[in-house]
Structure 1
Amino acid sequence: MCDLHDHHEHTQQAEEALAASGMSRRQIMQLLGAAGVTAATATAVAADPVMAATGAATGSVAGDGGYEPPEGLAQDSAAKRSALAWIERHESRITGLNDEIWENAELSLREWKSSIAEADFLREAGFEVEFGTAGFPTAFTATFSQGSGGPVIGFSGEYDALPGLSQKKGVGEHDPLDYVHDPFSPGYGPGHGCGHCALGTAAAAAAAAVARAAKQHKLDVTVKFFGSTAEEQLIGKTYAVSEGVYDGLDAFLDWHPSTGNATGWGSTNAMTAITFTFLGVAGHGGTPLGNKSALDATVMMATMSEFLREESMAPSARLHWAIVNGGDIPNVTPEISEISYYVREGSPARVQSLLDKVIAVSEAAAKASRTSVRHKITSACWNQLPSKSFAELMHDNMRQIGPPKFSDEAQNLAKQLQKSLGLPEKGLHDKIADLTPPNPVFMGGGSTDVADISWQVPTVSLGTALAPVGSKMHTWSTASCAGSSPGHTALLAAAKYLAATAVDLLTQPKLLKGLKEEFAERTKDVDWKTALPEGYEPPMYEPPAWFLRKTGQSWPPDNITWPPVRVISKEKFSSLGPDLEPQT
């Protein structure tokens, strides 16, 4: 009882002290509820300069009760008006590009038609286009230059879809556009359930608008648009950064479809993607003795890894997996089976700590199942480095331009989707969210390969409401919106926010100087090094011949081994021991 009283008294004192700091009650309760987390975080920060640099994980940012975002950073200018007008004049061409990419719905590393469509759009806008960035066939760099000596501004474009998320556009209930009939394993085709059709389109429109404004108003600048492959697997940008593709930039602008209209300067989770391959011995399911099931090993690994959650995973950690190869038919013992993991944490060092435990689980599963196991890291990225000053400039532009103006049609679709998903029928977010500091306790979240870019150059990210309030990315409902009215409105708004912010950097050099000074201060104690392993070769698919001809490429690029090394089981049947003596 005395211990409980002392704890309550200490908690009261801590709450009063935190309240005096200007923090909101929500943030206070997060801090008090995660006392063990904050103590561990403080210790980790002392040994982890990456966490210290991000700020969000250190509790160094004041609570939102005492913060007021600055106004007047975004300035009206003839160049900005020209950029925004260009977007408005070309609305049908811009939304048409989105719809073309939406219809293609091509998976990571295989965005053959989508990458060409986006590159052609920029070529028509006066950009020079070069395919094969960092060796990836569907990655390209588009460049526009005006004058000399001006800043180099980068934009981020993505265009890959997700498997299994096909959905008819503008339809408020689940109705896949591409239904895959199989009497044993029905499924759905790929779809833009993360809205990358809109992402790449809005970024390309913003880049083109800035180029047009710079040419019209004689502003010295180099605009670079990076068409990136395989964002959904965090492969394209991470490897490209390690190859120096993003060197020489002065600022980088990024956006992503969302359920709200907001920007900020919080961090993300670092992540390593890893696939484990178990090898056994195939045999008839009716005579299983001596067979070695690779699927058994995979199931054991999946089960054992779940036991990491209580004692080996902080609130900032995320661990998710999928069995990507589990066999073909029940009466053949699977000789090969694979399970892929995404391991996320607040910094690369913390990812490695959790990853080591996952690898140990794989070895235990292999030993117990008498199979062999190997693993391959397919991608690895850092957590994002925030830019407070960049977010403040972006927010001021968003506030001045105003929120997306969704039609009744768009709002009705959103409410139909919410009803289908069992969510409150609130429609689409039609305001600009307040700019608030990140939570003092970093509680984890998603990951992005833009993060590695953010450690090379000041980077800002924003979201606009393409999906209904309360819904999530990576769903069929997002695919429904991405190719219809909500997606069109959201991407046009995003294009304007990106373009306006970029123009401010050209017309107000002091703003760009401030971004660079903050970046230098945040990174002064951090020596960035790619999280990819030594000797890493990025995964790739061989392009069709027509694509290579169209883009002027040859195959294979010189940074991969082709054909790839085959994975073949050489395991032997398991022994049951000496034969039993006959019974007499």
Structure 2
Amino acid sequence: MSNALNTDPILPDHLAAAAKATARAWIDDNKERLSEWHQHIWDLAEPAWREFRSAEWYVRRLRDEGFEVEAGSGGMPTAFSAAWTQGVGGPVLLTYAEYDAVPGNCQAAGYEEGPREGLSRYAPGHTDPHSALGISTLAGLLGTMHAMKVHGISGTLKYTGEPAEKVQGSKVVHGLRGYYDGVDAIVSFHPFYMLPLCNTARWDTQCGSYYSRIYTFVCDEPETWQLGANPDSPIPASHSAARAPGANVALMSMYTSSRVMQDAMLPSFGGWSLSDAIFTHGQATADNLPARIAQIQYSWRCPTIDMAEHVLAVLDRNAGHAAALAHCRLETTWVARNRPGRTNHVLAQKLYDNLAEVGAPHYGEEAIAAAQAIQAGLGLEPMESPFLEECGQLISPQDAEAKLREHLAPWQRNWTSDDYVEMTHYAPTVRFYVSRPALRAAPDGPAYPGWVMNALGGIPATIDPTIETAGKTISGTFLDLLTRPEVLDAAKEEFRRRTGEDPMPPLLEPDFLPPTDFAWPDYSPDPSAGGSGSRLWYPQETDRA
């Protein structure tokens, strides 16, 4: 097959079929490399906004493959934007990598609970796993690129590195900075994490809005809390001077009042949720001084923007009062403020058609043996077929939608959250899921502990089928869009119609800055490792009496 650009009067269907076969063959031929790449990212397991080595690996890999890459795109140190073009014209198609891990979830790729070697159990680990998300889309991207070269297909492939998905931080920034402008279609992938969305594409019910905001309490002048107190003291900051309660008091007032008022923020339906996280600062040895600064992050998921705004109003009010009572100044910083997603039936159906051609993941003897070993270690009778039945089955987007709607109120258009939703406002986008390994429940037995799915996400025999299936599905979808203009035209027309019927402008200003400089969880180098790259996490594991 010639590398020259294709000018033969070949039917698009035939061209697409031949190109898909070429792309799938490339993925088959590179299974071992893809597995090694995944294991590397899984082992790095760097948390949100701190994925320095993971992002560096992707940038180097893409440049080696021939992509032009901008590192640190959008002002985000661990983001990137890559592009490769063949020919003149042709569609611009985009998919992306995620690679952030979750603090406190360090798990070895083994058959029992335990952290990776040399790390504390409090270190980050891949739970979803985003490691497989990124290598799956990379497989699809490179398989498509190879097929375009072999069959002379014109077009542009774009690939973005999206850090900090766990706080939904990067896609809103890339969108505001124009990185999705000019894109004709986007494919968004995530390993399956809830039924019935397993081996399918989302149909109507997309993810909803997500807000995340940091409240910073600053006690600038604790000694002015009671001016004139203890006037005989020669030192204004003496141990007996009356000082402001300080930032910690403000934070705890904010924390307790918001917890108490959570039931009053919104009615208890719609699947909305609120979570909080307290940032750490170096004031543990401050002796008798009040805390000068304290920060708490709130994140909330709501089906609608109106609901999210109601929560915001309560939190802002609580923060203002907490700052005032503790003699503090209040600062607020957005982490993310995302719009609910738009659906695209044309892309969803086309992607599912390609998933059906590939088929659901297949777990071989080695994968089954790994699953059985985990079951035996938990005191369960190993099953002949240990994986969840749905992991090996397809479900159409329409059938998955019907099952999903059984649990939702009729008025509810969106459910759960993920920041792919921001992409859906810039170009036609499809969101799809391929099963990750999950074990079949034991009859009358308890649920599996959380570490089990984390471990299965790092064992090559159990996670590689996810990467293979997703990669082939993405490449097939891309090649259909590259060779069948009528499909892409229909997807873009649907996008224009839906955007016109329900316009939703961005919720953050164009000059919004990503909050990368906050005290996000991070690794610390091990001074005793002699620069070997070993890492510690605090608190470290110690012998407990």
**Is TM > 0.5 for Structure 1 vs Structure 2?**
yes
Residue number among 148, 152, 176 corresponding to 1:218 in the alignment: 152
The equivalent of 2:137 in structure 1 is 203
Q: CA deviation at 1:534?
A: 6.6
Residue 340 of structure 1 and its aligned partner are, at CA, apart by 0.6
Q: 1:445 offset after TM fit, Å?
A: 4.2
2:222 and 2:243 in contact (8 A); partners too: no
* Counterparts in 2 of 1:398 and 1:518: CA distance versus 1, 3 Å: same
What's the offset of the Cα at 1:155?
1.0
- SS for the counterpart of 1:524 is helix
1:531 aligned onto 2:507: yes
Q: State which drifts further: 489-498 or 299-308.
A: 299-308
Show CA shifts across 1:154-195 (max 9, x none): 111112222222111133324454544xxxxxx521222221
Structure 1 pair 277–288 and aligned structure 2 pair: CA distance change class (3 A): farther
Q: CA deviation at 1:324?
A: 2.0
Alignment map for 1:107-122 (pairs within 5 Å): 107-122=47-62
Q: Where do residues 76-95 of structure 1 align in structure 2 (5 Å cutoff)?
A: 77-95=17-35
Q: Secondary structure at the match of 2:512?
A: coil
Please report how far the alpha carbon of residue 263 of structure 1 lies from its aligned counterpart in structure 2 after TM superposition.
1.6
* 2:457 is the alignment partner of 1:501: no
Is residue 427 of structure 1 aligned with residue 396 of structure 2? no
Name the counterpart of 1:328.
Answer: 284
Query: What one-letter code is carried by the residue in structure 1 that aligns with 2:103?
Result: P
Of 466, 473, 477, which residue of structure 2 is paired with 1:490? Answer: 466
Identity rate of aligned residues, in percent?
28
User: In terms of mean alpha carbon deviation, does 241-250 or 503-512 score higher?
Assistant: 503-512
Cα deviation 1:281-324 (Å, max 9, x = unaligned)? 7799x979645142232222222212443332242322111222
Q: CA 1:475–1:254 in 2, change beyond 3 Å: closer, same or farther?
A: farther
In the alignment, which residue of structure 1 is the partner of 2:43?
103
CA deviations over 1:384-416 (Å, ceiling 9, x no partner):
111122111222221221110112443454466
Partner Cα separation in structure 1 for residue 308 and residue 202 of structure 2: 24
Q: Is contact 1:176–1:188 with CA below 8 Å preserved after alignment?
A: no
| Partner in structure 1 of residue 307 of structure 2 | 350
Confirm or deny: 8 A CA contact 2:209 2:303 kept in the other structure: yes
Choose from 295, 303, 328 the match for 1:338. Answer: 295
What SS does the aligned partner of 2:392 have? Answer: coil
Residue 5 of structure 2: aligned partner: none
Q: Give the Cα–Cα distance (whole angstroms) in 1 for the partners of residues 311 and 485 of structure 2.
A: 43
**1:262, 1:466 → 2: CA distance?**
13
Question: Which whole-Å CA distance do the structure 2 matches of 1:74 and 1:371 have between them?
Answer: 68
Q: Structure 1 residues 396 and 111 mapped into 2: Cα distance closer, same or farther (>3 Å)?
A: same
CA distance in 2, matches of 1:227, 1:473: 32
Question: How far apart, CA to CA, are the structure 1 residues paired with 2:200 and 2:516?
Answer: 34
Contact 1:412 1:427 in 2 (8 A): no
Change (3 A) 1:488 1:170: farther
Q: CA RMSD in A?
A: 3.3
Say whether residues 1:464 and 2:434 are aligned partners.
yes
Q: How does 1:4-403 map to 2 (within 5 A)?
A: 77-180=17-120, 188-259=122-193, 260-265=198-203, 266-280=205-219, 290-314=243-267, 315-316=269-270, 317-325=272-280, 328=284, 333-403=290-360
Q: Which amino acid aligns with 2:27?
A: I
Give the one of 410, 416, 419 matched to 1:446. 416
CA contact (8 A) 2:177 2:510 kept: no
Q: Distance in 1 between matches of 2:373 and 2:63?
A: 39
- Provide the rounded CA distance (Å) in 2 between the counterparts of 1:218 and 1:233: 40
- The aligned length equals 464
Question: Structure 1 pair 244/145, CA: closer, same or farther in 2 (3 Å)?
Answer: same
CA distance change for structure 1 residues 445 and 421 in 2, over 3 Å: closer, same or farther?
A: farther
Structure 1 residues 450 and 288: alpha-carbon distance in aligned structure 2, compared to 1, 3 A threshold: farther
Please report how far the alpha carbon of residue 227 of structure 1 lies from its aligned counterpart in structure 2 after TM superposition. 1.7
Aligned mate of 2:498, from 519, 522, 544: 522
Task: Look up the match of 2:521.
Answer: none
Gap change, CA 1:536 and 1:390, over 3 Å in 2: same
CA contact (8 A) 1:241 1:452 kept: yes
- Structure 1 pair 448–413 and aligned structure 2 pair: CA distance change class (3 A): same
Quick check: 1:256–1:462 contact (8 Å CA) kept in 2?
yes
Contact 2:222-2:327 at 8 Å conserved across structures: no
**More divergent stretch after superposition (327-336 vs 152-161):** 327-336
TM-score by length of 1: 0.72
Query: Would the aligned equivalents of 1:193 and 1:474 in 2 still touch at CA under 8 Å?
Result: no
Segments of structure 1 that go 5 or more residues without pairing to the other structure are: 1-72, 181-186, 543-584
CA 252–336 in structure 1, closer or farther in 2 if over 3 Å, else same: same
| 3-state SS in 2 of match to 1:159 | coil
